[in-house]
Amino acid sequence: MNSEFRFSIKKTDTLRNQIYQDIKDAVIGGQLKPGQRLREQDLSNDMGVSRGPIREAILLLEREGLLVTQTHRETTVAQVEKEEVDGLLNPLRLLLESFCIQKIISLLSDEHFSDLDNILNDLIDACKNQDLGKVVKKDLQFHEYLVSLTEEPYLISLWSGVSSRIVFHFMNNSQIHQQNDFSLFISEHVQLLNAIKTKDWSNIEPVLRKHIY
């Protein structure tokens, strides 16, 4: 890789998942830039693992649209244009999250709301500390938690691919790195959670739509 960024050596038995998550975090977090080439051998050397689990992780990330491998060419980090986000990805995300929330809304319990409160508190702390990497992770975790409650792997996979590309575009094109005030970002999540706690879709829908767009 033409980069100073290096991955840590893997030592446990969940290699594919670790490699998948580490590369995904590096792409979304901006350590790996759009168009940057990834060589399996370089990744193998960095992580201290064989190329097999690396190849499997790359395939998963290709399905999510974060990496691109063309026939007989090297793997590169994908590029996501604003037109795709506005015209396709945001509408898909709204459709998916709306469907999932309506599917689980009657099943939400105090325990679920407690989990969401904890994630939101972590998100707020990350915002106060201006830890952008953690802000992104906690934002994704908040929404992924709701989607995961459907216990539908297909929905979770769809949502993951769509949301990953949105966040990837956001991280590479937003000026949030230069901002010191996350108050609006926090407020939107607080409003969304409060709306979800009513378990009334008519309250949730406009807040969710505003938050995504």
Check residue 10 and give its pLDDT. 52
Q: How far from the centroid of its chain's Cα atoms is residue 198's Cα?
A: 26
Check residue 204 and give its pLDDT. 98
With 90 as the cut, is the pLDDT of residue 76 above it? yes
pLDDT tens by residue, 191-205: 999 999 999 999 999
With 80 as the cut, is the pLDDT of residue 11 above it? no
Going along the chain from its start, the domains and CATH numbers come out as 15-77 (1.10.10.10), 82-212 (1.20.120.530)
**Assigned token pair, 155:** 């929905």
Model confidence at 209, pLDDT cuts 50, 70, 90, reads very high
pTM of the model: 0.80
Check residue 181 and give its pLDDT. 64
Average pLDDT score over residue span 14-33: 87
The H or E element that residue 68 is part of is strand 67-69
Model confidence at 177, pLDDT cuts 50, 70, 90, reads very low
Question: Rounded to whole angstroms, how far apart are CA atoms 151 and 140?
Answer: 17
Check residue 73 and give its pLDDT. 75
Average pLDDT, the chain: 88
With 70 as the cut, is the pLDDT of residue 176 above it? no
Neighbours of 175 (CB within 10 A): 6
Check residue 178 and give its pLDDT. 43
Neighbours of 207 (CB within 10 A): 16
Question: CA Rg, the chain, in Å?
Answer: 18
Model confidence at 9, pLDDT cuts 50, 70, 90, reads low
pLDDT tens by residue, 145-157: 999 999 999 999 9
Average pLDDT score over residue span 30-37: 88
